[in-house]
Amino acid sequence: MGDPQAYFANQAPNVAVRAADFSPPALGVTLQLGNVLLLLAALGVICSWTPHAGTARAFLTAIAFADYGHIYAAYRALGPEAFWDVGGWNGMIWGNVGASVVLNVVRWLTVLGAFGGPAARGAAPSKKAQ
């Protein structure tokens, strides 16, 4: 996160943010959010490469539910008028809302097996399946 203040301000581009509005607590929360996002990315990589399908499904289920909180946070920050004005969204809002909605659908489809299971990828069936 090269510019925490810009990242902070772009969360709700419909609200003007002055430098004075970006307090030390706002800086702390912004940097902590960046840290959590990096942690989730690392967990995503680990869980995507696990040989245990149950671990991957559990991770995707947890993240799919968390997507709703992420989208709701954007809704609260923007307010209903700006949230539903898709034409007025900046890149940050497209990432926070648009990408979250698409990824949420893909996560649920994956959990539900729409893209095939381990057998479809040539993996040996688990002992439970035998």
Residues 90, 94, 95, 98, Cα dihedral to 10°: 170
Q: Is 122 left (phi over 0), alpha (psi -120 to 50) or beta?
A: left
pTM of the model: 0.72
For residue 96, give Cα distances in angstroms to 32, 42, 68, 91, 109: 16, 19, 11, 9, 20
Specify the pLDDT at position 117. Answer: 62
pLDDT tens digits in sequence order for the chain, 130 residues long: 688 888 888 787 777 877 777 888 888 888 888 888 889 889 888 887 888 888 888 999 999 999 999 999 999 988 999 999 999 999 889 988 999 999 999 999 989 989 886 544 545 555 555 5
